[in-house]
Chain A
Amino acid sequence: MRITKTLGLAALLAMTAGLAHAQDLRIGLQEDPDVLDPDQSRTFVGRIVYASLCDKLVDITPDLEIIPMLATGWEWSDDGTELTMSLREGVTFHDGEPFNAAAVAANIDRSKNLDVSRRKSEVKSIESWEVVDDYTIRFTLSAPDATLMAQFADRAGMMLSPKATEAAGADFGLNPVCAGPFVFKERVQQDRIVLEKFADYYRADEINFDSVTFLPIPDTTVRLANLRAGDLHMLERLAATDLASAEADDGLNVERATSLGYQGITINIANGPRADNPIGQSAAVRRALSLSIDRNALNQVVFEGAFAPGNQPYAPTSPWYNTAFPVPERDIDAAKALLAEAGHADGITVEVQVANNPVQTQVMQVIQAMAAEAGITVELAAKEFATLLADQSAGEFVASQIGWSGRVDPDGNIHQFMTANGGLNDADYSNPDMDKALNEARLSNDPAVRKQSYDAAIALQQEDMPIIYLYHPVWIWALDEKVAGFTPYPDGMIRLHGVSVSE
């Protein structure tokens, strides 16, 4: 009896010791991710999960330089239509399948040809590919595409086990198998996603957790309360209004990075009959609205000064920002003069649709008050996001307050919005010079050459103003002070390499 007791006690001790060692990192997300298939998913939080689950061909540095990940090197042909990549050797997928050139080929094929793939447009320029040897692959493009490497640094570059994709087809997301630092263990929708350490990961020494649990907690106050109560180790997207209180808390650390995205007001210029009004027809009126806005005050009032005021698709801190057009000071007189020039000295009325969440509504209410002083009456139409999007794409809007999550390559923030046939050009804006500048920017892999094209495009945008840019969100992470080694990235991802928690 005594022996049984002792043994039981020993077993209990061993178990608790094991528990103390088995470290689980708990991360609070703002939303529940959608389907966990990189070829089908679309949410930002989904990408945060992938950062621990699925390694990509290449990655980025915090300064947005492309660096090796599963591909160790790459080379462009002189005419920019051939890309040869050498691949890392000795890498296996979570199911034990080897990673090699054939696996890359299968992945690109899936991104391009799976009927419901959301990645089609991102890898459109790839015309064909050739497995040169086990660890070398060559892509042939239909035309030079400077954006391709940045696509490989995101979902289009995530490598999935070909065996698993073949077996699961479109249902791959229910049990994803990749080559990242953690293996998918379980998911309870709206509750948690649990990943376990992948023992055979090629950089296993940089991973300090036995498992990582992602917990979707939409309410920002509750998310922070969970962190303070010790139920979370870190959370993404701390509300700007909670920033001061989190910074004052000794138990917490705050990290931030200006995002690649923006928020702005898209003006309907030629998309159906609703474009037929002063602001749709006159660039001067659009510039007047822009000048009536005090972007710094907007940032102070709504975001406690934590975000980055902006006037271009790139944040002022971005290397692609055109410094010839700094964020304008508010100028009511100039705004009134522009209105008068356009023949609307008595003022105009503009209906702006806005997503019915408290933050975006507040943004527009501040702008409403500011614009009124310049003689622009802003009427707000609050809509639920799905409705707002449908109306915007159908041309059922005069002006629409909407944003973009941002892309690593500068092309992603402007080409689709400003070119005449761009997929996201809901304004139906068209200017041949703009098309020329933005198409040219895709041809060269030389950043200096591309910068010239983007500078030209921004100059045109400042003149025509189909989108009035307002600000760039700043990613704010709050972490338990015991968490060390976290690096903020402008893409908002959480990379766990080198992150640790002290006991």
Chain B
Amino acid sequence: MLAFLGRRILIAIPTVFLISVFVFTLQHLLPGDPILVMAGEERDPEIIAALREKYRMNDPITVQYLAWAGNALQGDLGISLRTQQPVLELIAEKLPVTIQLAVMALIIAILIGIPAGVLSAYKKGTWIDWLANIIALSGLSVPNFWLGIMLILLVSVRLGWLPASGYLPLSEDPLQSIRVMVMPAFVLGTALAATLMRHTRSAMLSVLKSDYVRTARAKGLREGVVLVKHALRNALVPVVTVITLLFGELLAGAVLTEQIFTIPGFGKLVVDAVFNRDYAVVQGIVLCTGIAFIAMNILADAAYRVLNPRMSDQ
């Protein structure tokens, strides 16, 4: 297992390097000038020149990249052009927020998606299967931002049950923090639950037809044991892959969800940074997201091995 992890991490290094080069160059290809945005409405040429000098915008792009990459290797991702806060500090501040949102959304998605998938596979062709499918389809089709605003209007404005938006750190007040996060996590989680349900259902369907399930039943095992211990465990391998891939989707979905519920996470940070051409922040975020995504994939590969020990030989 250790050798496997080491190998995967080594392979990841060039990938991270490529990500950094792409982000850096693509961003500079974007139309629009960050200095012009920063200079303010007046666009005083003297200020523009001073800002260009300060942020080394006059250097060739390769020199800019090398300077940035050199600092990044030492853990310095630069400062935000907009607020002058260090990028690393910003990311450290926002990352826990989005992770909390993503984890809660994932939990909601798993709690809804997997049992619904198992049930609809087991009751294939009955009204339960149909109902689960209809719910899954609507979960997929309803846009995040619409569901979010409707929930705010219903749950917060009409019923006054939950706060409409905002954020409280888990460390400050765990209960209130979860209360604030429930609605956005639900919005984010429902779409994922639908995807999970579809995948669990098809994986379960093929597993339920296999010989060893028939054998298990022939042995006289109880149906619940057959379903959970024999069928579901094997059906989960493709589902785990989907969950890892969904993690990327979660981060993307968080962009919209955080915007609606004004959660000060990664998504909001990246949207504001792109619109303000806050290069250093965008670069820092994409780099960190890239690394997180690669790490998730490595973890998923490790998880396969735990779920299905036969894969270790391959």
- Which residues of A approach B to under 8 Å, CB–CB? 32, 34-35, 41-42, 115-118, 120-122, 170-171, 173-174, 188-192, 215-219, 221-222, 225-226, 228-231, 383-387, 389-391, 393, 404-405, 416, 423-424
Contact call A218/B152, Cβ cutoff below 8 A: no
Stretch of B30-38, B128-136, B200-208, B230-238 at the chain-chain interface? B30-38
Name the segment of B7-15, B162-170, B243-251, B288-296 touching the other chain: B162-170
Complex Cα spacing A170 to B160, Å: 44
Determine the distance from Cα of A164 to Cα of B68 in the docked complex, in whole angstroms.
30
Which residues does B use to contact A, with CB under 8 Å? 30-34, 36-47, 50-51, 54, 82-85, 90, 93-94, 149, 152-153, 156-157, 160, 163-167, 259-262, 264, 268-269, 272, 275-277
- Please determine whether A423 and B45 come into contact, CB atoms closer than 8 angstroms: yes
Residue in A closest to B155 when the chains form the complex, CB atoms:
A229
Contact B83 A424 (CB under 8 A): no
Taken together as a complex, chains A and B put the C-alpha atoms of A416 and B164 apart, in Å, by 43
CA distance A226 to B160 in the complex (A): 11
Contact B43 A424 (CB under 8 A): yes
Give the residue name and chain of the A residue nearest to B167 (CB): A191
Alpha-carbon distance between A386 and B33 when the two chains are bound, in angstroms: 7
Query: Are A190 and B269 in contact (CB-based, < 8 A)?
Result: yes
Q: Closest Cβ of chain A: how far from B3's Cβ, in Å?
A: 42
Q: Are A390 and B31 in contact (CB under 8 A)?
A: yes
- The answer to whether B51 touches A116 (Cβ under 8 A) is yes
Q: Report yes or no: B264 in contact with A226, Cβ–Cβ below 8 A.
A: no
Evaluate contact between A35 and B43: CB separation under 8 angstroms.
no
Given A189-B90, A225-B153, A384-B275, residue A219 in contact with residue B259 (CB < 8 A):
yes
Contacts of A228 in B (CB 8 A): 157
| Nearest-neighbor residue (CB-CB) of B262 within chain A | A217
A229 to B152, CA, bound (A): 9
Q: Which B residue sits closest to A32, measured CB to CB?
A: B272
Interchain Cβ contacts under 8 Å between A and B, 27 examples:
A35-B84, A118-B44, A118-B47, A121-B47, A173-B83, A174-B84, A190-B262, A191-B262, A218-B262, A221-B149, A222-B262, A225-B153, A225-B164, A226-B156, A229-B156, A231-B156, A231-B164, A231-B166, A386-B31, A386-B275, A386-B277, A387-B31, A390-B36, A393-B36, A393-B43, A423-B43, A423-B44
Question: Please, which residue of chain B has its CB at the minimum distance from the CB of A412?
Answer: B42
Given contacts A41-B40, A121-B46, A219-B262, 20 further A-B contacts (CB under 8 A): A34-B82, A35-B84, A116-B50, A116-B54, A118-B39, A118-B47, A120-B47, A121-B42, A122-B42, A173-B83, A174-B84, A188-B264, A189-B93, A191-B166, A217-B262, A225-B152, A384-B275, A386-B32, A387-B31, A390-B32
Q: Which residues of A have CB within 8 Å of B85? A: 174, 189
Closest to B37 in A: A386
Q: Tell me the minimal C-beta distance from A328 to chain B in angstroms.
A: 27
**Shortest Cβ distance from A192 into chain B, in angstroms?**
8
**Residues of B contacting A424 with CB < 8 Å?**
41-43
Instruction: Report yes or no: A386 in contact with B166, Cβ–Cβ below 8 A.
Output: no
* Of the residues A35, A217, A390, A404, contact of B83 by C-beta under 8 Å: A35
Contact check, A115 vs B259: say whether CB atoms are below 8 A apart: no
Q: Closest residue to B149 on the A side, CB-wise?
A: A221
A217 to B259: give the CA distance in the assembly, Å.
8
Smallest CB separation, B56 vs chain A (Å): 14
**Given A116-B54, A118-B44, A189-B85: A216 touches B262 (CB 8 Å cut-off):** yes
Check B37 against A222 for contact (C-beta < 8 Å): no
**Cα A41 to Cα B38 with chains together (Å):** 9
Checking B36, B149, B160 against A386 with a beta-carbon cut-off of 8 angstroms, the contacting residue is B36
* CB neighbours of A226 from chain B (8 A): 156, 164-165
Q: Which residues of B contact A404 (CB under 8 A)?
A: 41
Say yes or no: A118 contacts B275, CB within 8 Å: no
Q: Which residues of A contact B84 (CB under 8 A)?
A: 35, 170-171, 173-174
Q: Which residues of A contact B268 (CB under 8 A)?
A: 190
| Chain A residues with CB below 8 A from B276, complex form | 386
Q: How far is the CB of A323 from chain B (nearest CB, A)?
A: 28
Q: Are A229 and B163 in contact (CB under 8 A)?
A: yes
Residues of B with C-beta under 8 A to A216: 262
Residues of A within 8 A of B275 (CB): 384-386
Whole-angstrom CA separation of A222 from B163 in the bound complex? 12
Most buried by A among B41, B45, B54: B41
A190 to B94, CA, bound (A): 10
Q: How far is the CA of A34 from the CA of B264 in the complex (A)?
A: 15
Decide if B41 touches A231 in the complex (CB within 8 Å): no
Contact B40 A118 (CB under 8 A): yes
Q: Write out the residue numbers on chain B whose beta carbons fall within 8 Å of the beta carbon of A41.
A: 40
Q: How far is the CA of A279 from the CA of B289 in the complex (A)?
A: 48
Q: Chain B's nearest CB lies how many Å from the CB of A169?
A: 11
Residue of B37, B165, B268, B275 with highest tally of chain A CB at under 10 A: B165
Given contacts A117-B47, A189-B83, A386-B33, whether A222 and B164 have CB atoms under 8 Å apart is: yes
Most chain-A CB neighbours within 10 Å: which of B40, B163, B272? B40
Task: Check if A389 sits within 8 Å of B42, measured CB to CB.
Answer: no
Minimum CB–CB distance from B47 to chain A (whole Å) comes to 6
Is the beta-carbon distance between A219 and B164 smaller than 8 angstroms?
no
Shortest CB–CB separation between residue B90 and chain A, in angstroms? 6
On whether the beta carbons of A222 and B149 are closer than 8 Å, the reply is: yes
Q: Which of B34, B51, B157 contacts A225 (CB 8 A)?
A: B157
Say which residue of A117, A120, A217, A387 sits within 8 Å of B165 (CB atoms). A217
Q: Is the Cβ of B42 less than 8 Å from the Cβ of A118?
A: yes
For B54, the closest partner residue in chain A by CB is A116
Please, how many angstroms separate the alpha-carbon atoms of A230 and B163 in the complex? 9
- Contact assessment for A222 and B152 in the assembled complex, using a CB-CB cutoff below 8 Å: yes
Known: A35-B84, A188-B264, A384-B275. A42 touches B36 (CB 8 A): no
Contact at A120–B37, with CB atoms within 8 Å? no
A120 touching B163, Cβ below 8 Å:
no
Complex contacts, B157 vs chain A, CB 8 Å: 225, 228-229
Closest Cβ of chain B to A95, distance in Å, is: 20
**How far, in whole Å, are A225 and B158 apart by their CA atoms in the complex?**
10
